[in-house]
Structure 1
Amino acid sequence: MTPAIKVAIKAKVNHRVHEYKHDPKAESYGTEAAEAIGIDPARVFKTLLVELNGDNKKLAVGVVPVSGQLDLKAIASALKVKKVAMAQPQDAERATGYVVGGISPLGQKKRLPLVLDSSADQYETIYMSAGKRGLEIEMSAADLLRLTQGVSAAIGRG
């Protein structure tokens, strides 16, 4: 059981865990998850880390649909910082305790500021990594925001 799943259980939020066989050759972890589970990729969200104002010790989390990309200017604005850049994979892994491709917005080693793309609001539930490749957790966007103390903003682009 991953830290992400433990957080959901401890908080008693309604959630479902979906496991699938991860293919190490898959080019996109999120697209692979959507296909394996049989759901619209717009409902599967990827967890991306950004560094704030060029400081790799100050990180934040952006959660956007796997079918799109993270808008760096939009997340910078949502976080009220001048600029952001994508965090290096090793910095993301160190801060979260998860490996790239399995980074969950839940149960990270350090609580980082989190911004969830507002497109999540249109779905009853969304899917995100449960903390390892081949494992997704499904819950409402409202529960994710409550558990992470995150905010919702338009940070994704098609």
Structure 2
Amino acid sequence: MVKTSKIKTNALRHLDAKKISHNVYEYDAPNGFLDGVSVAKATGMDVNKVYKTLVTQGASKEHYVCVIPVAEELDLKKAAKHFGEKKIEMIPAKEITNVTGYIKGGCSPIGMKKQFRTAIDSHAENLQQIVVSAGKVGLQVELLVTDLVSVVGADLTDLIVK
């Protein structure tokens, strides 16, 4: 069941502080983490507008954030090229909280402990609104693509495996 939420997370507080219009949706995650396609189904959202947040680390040890459609796979070579790295890898799940302040399945590109360089897959250019994690398992936020790009200082680029 989808419903609006009164819960506040770092991501939602950040959007409120910047006066960015958004909708918040809660969904049931009885066993904790749900994959992104299941989240789209649980919220009744079009799977093409629901994006997942992936945190990576380059050979330089810098962290980068990639936001891609939930049904797609990140192309690590494309991400490395975009960020000017020789190689990029996903960070281990156990490091997500220390790096971002969020937990696996609830990692939002908005309001992390530190603002990392962020890229959003270019398919988002075809959307008016995008849905990403609101910073907690069971919570999603919908906002304009342009607002997400602005609030996280993201680039739009091709990031997915073809």
Q: Does TM-score exceed 0.5, indicating one fold?
A: yes
Count of residue correspondences: 155
- What CA distance in whole angstroms lies between the structure 1 residues aligned with 2:160 and 2:51? 10
Alignment-derived partner of residue 36 in structure 1 = 42
Q: Is 1:81 matched with 2:88?
A: no
Stretches of structure 2 lacking an aligned partner (at least 5 in a row)? 1-7
1:105 matched residue in structure 2: 109
Note the aligned Cα RMSD (angstroms): 1.4
Matched residue, 1:65:
69
Shift of 1:27: 5.1
Q: Secondary structure at the match of 2:14?
A: helix
Quote the Cα distance in structure 2 between the aligned partners of 1:25 and 1:98.
14
Rounded to whole Å, the distance in 1 between the matches of 2:32 and 2:131 is 21
Structure with bigger strand share is: 1
User: Does residue 48 in structure 1 map to residue 34 in structure 2?
Assistant: no
Check conservation: 1:26, 1:32, Cα contact below 8 A: no
Deviation, 1:75, is 0.8
1:91 CA drift (Å): 2.1
Residue pair 2:58, 2:64 contacting (<8 A) in 1 also: yes
Distance 1:154 1:119 in 2: 8
Equivalent pair of 1:54/1:84 in contact (CA under 8 Å)? no
CA distance in 2, matches of 1:52, 1:93: 18
Identity of aligned residues (%): 33
Which one of the candidate residues 120, 124, 148 is aligned to 1:116? 120
Once residues 140 and 109 of structure 1 are traced to their aligned partners in structure 2, the CA distance between those partners, rounded to angstroms, is 23
Q: TM-score, normalised on structure 1?
A: 0.93
> Which runs of 5 or more structure 1 residues have no equivalent in the other structure?
none
Match of 2:105, SS state, is: coil
SS in 2 for 1:61: strand
Question: How much does 1:107 deviate?
Answer: 0.5
- Structure 1 runs, 4 residues or longer, greater than 4 Å off: none
Is residue 60–residue 85 contact of structure 2 (8 Å, CA) maintained in 1? no
Distance 2:114 2:24 in 1: 23
Q: Which amino acid aligns with 1:19?
A: E
SS at match of 1:70: coil
SS in 2 for 1:60: strand
Tell me if structure 2 keeps the 8 A contact 1:54–1:85: no
